A and B are shown apart, each in its own frame.
Chain A
Amino acid sequence: MTALLPEAPIFKATGVGCRFGGVIALDSVDFQVGPDEIVGLIGPNGSGKTTLLNVLSGIYRASSGSLEIDGKPSRFKSSRRLSRDHGLARTFQNIRLCPSLTVRDNVLIGMHSGFRWYDALWTGGRGSRERRSVERVEEILEFVGIADKRDEIATDLAYGDQRRVEIARALATNPRLLLLDEPAAGMNPREARVLVDLIKRIHDEREIAIVVIEHNMNVVMNTASRVMVLDAGLCIAHGDPKTVSSDPHVLEAYLGKRFRDA
């Protein structure tokens, strides 16, 4: 199992805990991701997957644990600094798009860090950063396959397309690590297959490390090189997808004790 761990993780969190009042959402979890990995994060509902993602992306504050970024110890940072300085991007379990903006404007929000203050008054003309950003957004929309919908209001799109807008927006931040929170939720099998393909392409062509939370096992098994299973705020299994899916603890967590030996 240890052989699977990356040699030089870009993000490495040790003993991460997160509690709200008396409720322990995350007990103590070790988590790391290397520059060339797709890590699957699975577990029953309420096991703390999204909390882990929220802590890693700086949306929740960890109550315990330590963090290393590129091998250097670091405090847990705000989601803004993680996005701007450390190349971390994410999507949300409940799709969060700006409901009054077009697809293109939504994705442009991801480009925010690239602008300097004087760009606020230079929004047109060749060579302006605005123009160049629009061109890059075009390329990203092309890449995720929704270029033809660029001028539509983002929340008018079909569910699967909205997920892709979120991914496009995350890609626009030019990330090294992309956290996907249930990207296949609400997708039909065909859309899920397209998604698997997209995740692989993001990883292969853009060389971005990916962490994916997913309930759809087809998606996890077909993308992840390493899988981590959470239950009740603890990591109960960890390894390559095949081993994990037959691990007795995992079966117990998902199906209950009775099925463990069946």
Chain B
Amino acid sequence: MDLLQQIINGLTIGSVYALVAIGFSVVYGALGLVNFAHGDILMAGTFVTYGLYSGLHVPIVLAAVAGILAGIVLAGVVEEIAVRPVLKAHLLIPMMTTLGMGLIIRNVVELKYGSGTLPFPSFAGSGFYTVGDLKIAKAAIATLLVAILTLVVFAAFLRYTKAGFAIRVVAQDMTAARLMGVPVNRTIMAVYGAGGALGVIGGLLYANTLEVVYLGMGFPILLKGFAAAIVGGIGNLQGALLGGLILGILEATVGPSAGSYRDAIAFVLLIAILLVRPAGLLGARVQERV
């Protein structure tokens, strides 16, 4: 029973990782670039919701929408300033420029909210449901539901809308997409926006689960999201989902015995997967063209 309880806890946090991982994976899959500002974008979006919700008492749904919009705008700005101009440059350059943008975003949030840990009232209310011996937090149920809903909506967006199709085309071959009349620049912007939105939703759920927000929250979520994305096979959405859940369950089951090294689990998993199977569990290898 204990194990089952831990697995349920793991699924909850794992679905948060999965959301972030998918946001990450979408950007990576389309452009082959890591967005090092991703963590700071989702942190900033979460803080926008926090400010509206607990400072100005705006209803949570509106506040969440505002936070997500903020995430989309920020991601678009990062793309416009720090990614587009250097798309053709050496791989290092866009990585570093997004890192720089992340520093700026974080600094702005720090000026407003400081670097302390702030309480984030869970919007699902506190309390538990009891099923047999299992105690399931209401927040966990909410998190799970929102995460699944978001994933379904996003998968449908990629699959059935024109913009989603454009994203998949750009991910396959940017030059061909451009030649076929796909508005590549706008699509890349959409990719970043979608990544930002998913990130902020993940950030909100993370905050909801832990009932805190803090300046540094983007960093562990980013790393765990990335670890999840890699474990599943980056650029692969099902893989990212799988990776997120695996990571969440591992943390919940192995975590307690790892003690203060709990946060290292994600890295150990990440390093192990990269060394054993760099393409991830569901990824494919690609021959470099010469």
CB distance from A185 to the nearest CB of B (A): 15
Task: Tell me, yes or no, whether B290 is within 8 Å of chain A by CB.
Answer: yes
Q: How many A residues have CB within 8 A of the partner chain?
A: 6
CB neighbours of A60 from chain B (8 A): 287, 290
How many whole Å from B90's CB to the nearest CB in chain A? 9
Contacts of B290 in A (CB 8 A): 50, 54, 59-60, 92
Query: Which of A's residues lie within 8 Å of B, judged by CB?
Result: 20, 50, 54, 59-60, 92
Please, which residues of chain B bring their CB within 8 A of the CB of A20?
287
Q: Which of B237-290 contact A (CB under 8 A)?
A: 287, 290
A-B contact pairs, 5 of them (CB 8 A): A20-B287, A54-B290, A59-B290, A60-B287, A60-B290
Give how many B residues have a beta carbon under 8 Å from the other chain's beta carbons. Answer: 2
Kindly state the separation between the CA atoms of A20 and B290 in the bound complex, as whole angstroms: 14
Number of A-B contacts (CB under 8 A): 7
The 3 closest A-B pairs by CB, nearest first: A59-B290, A54-B290, A20-B287
Tell me how far the C-beta of A194 lies from the nearest C-beta in chain B, rounded to whole angstroms.
Answer: 26
Tell me the minimal C-beta distance from B283 to chain A in angstroms: 15
Bound Cα distance from A54 to B290, whole angstroms: 8
Chain B residues near A92 (CB-CB < 8 A): 290
Q: Which residue of B lies closest to A61 (CB)?
A: B287
Cα(A92)–Cα(B287), bound, Å: 17
A50–B289 Cα distance when bound, in Å, is 11
In the assembly, what is the distance between CA of A20 and CA of B286, in Å?
10
Cα–Cα distance between A50 and B290 once the two chains are bound (Å): 9
CA–CA, A20 to B285, complex, Å? 11
Complex Cα distance A20/B287, Å? 8
**Cα–Cα distance between A54 and B260 once the two chains are bound (Å):** 51
Shortest CB-to-CB span from A254 to chain B, Å, is 25
Kindly provide the distance from the CB of A23 to the nearest chain B CB, expressed in whole angstroms: 11
Chain B residue numbers with a CB within 8 Å of A54 are 290
List the A residue with the shortest CB-CB distance to B284: A21
CB distance from B233 to the nearest CB of A (A): 17
Closest CB in chain A relative to B285 CB, distance in Å: 10
Chain B proximity of A29: nearest CB distance (Å): 18
Q: Which residues of A contact B287 (CB under 8 A)?
A: 20, 60
Q: How many Å from the CB of B288 to the closest CB on chain A?
A: 9
Residue of B nearest to A54 (CB): B290
What distance in Å separates the Cβ of A72 from its nearest Cβ neighbour in chain B? 27
Q: Which residues of B contact A59 (CB under 8 A)?
A: 290
Instruction: State A50–B287 Cα separation when bound (angstroms).
Output: 15
- Which residues of B have CB within 8 Å of A50? 290
State the CA gap A54–B287 with chains docked (Å).
12
- A60–B288 Cα distance when bound, in Å, is 9
- CB-nearest residue of chain B to A100: B90
Task: State the Cβ distance, A83 to closest chain B Cβ, in Å.
Answer: 15
Shortest CB-to-CB span from B189 to chain A, Å, is 28
Proximity string of chain B (136-152) to chain A, C-beta cutoff 8 Å, 1 when within and 0 when not:
00000000000000000
CB distance from A77 to the nearest CB of B (A): 16
A209 smallest CB distance to B (angstroms) = 22
CB-nearest residue of chain B to A99? B90
A152 to chain B, nearest CB (A): 21
Q: What is the bound-complex CA distance between A92 and B290, given in angstroms?
A: 8
A33–chain B nearest beta-carbon distance, Å: 20
Complex CA–CA separation, A35 to B287 (angstroms): 32
CA distance A102 to B214 in the complex (A): 49
User: CA separation between A59 and B287, bound complex, in Å?
Assistant: 10
CB contact list, B74-106 vs A, under 8 A: none
Name A57's closest neighbour in chain B (CB-CB): B290
CA distance A60 to B287 in the complex (A): 9
Q: Which residue of B lies closest to A20 (CB)?
A: B287
The closest CB in chain B to the CB of A59 belongs to B290
CA distance A165 to B97 in the complex (A): 32
Q: How close is B215's CB to chain A, nearest CB, in angstroms?
A: 37
A54 to B288 CA separation, bound complex (whole angstroms): 12
Inter-chain CA distance A60–B290, complex, in Å, is 9
Q: Closest approach, in angstroms, between the C-beta of B86 and any C-beta of chain A?
A: 14
Instruction: Give complex CA distance A60, B2 in Å.
Output: 52
Bound form: Cα–Cα A36–B290 in Å: 28
- Report the minimum CB–CB distance from B93 to chain A (whole Å): 12
State how many angstroms separate the Cβ of A50 from the closest Cβ of chain B. 8
- Distance from B262 Cβ to chain A, minimum over Cβ atoms (Å): 41
CB A80 to nearest CB in B, in angstroms, measures 14
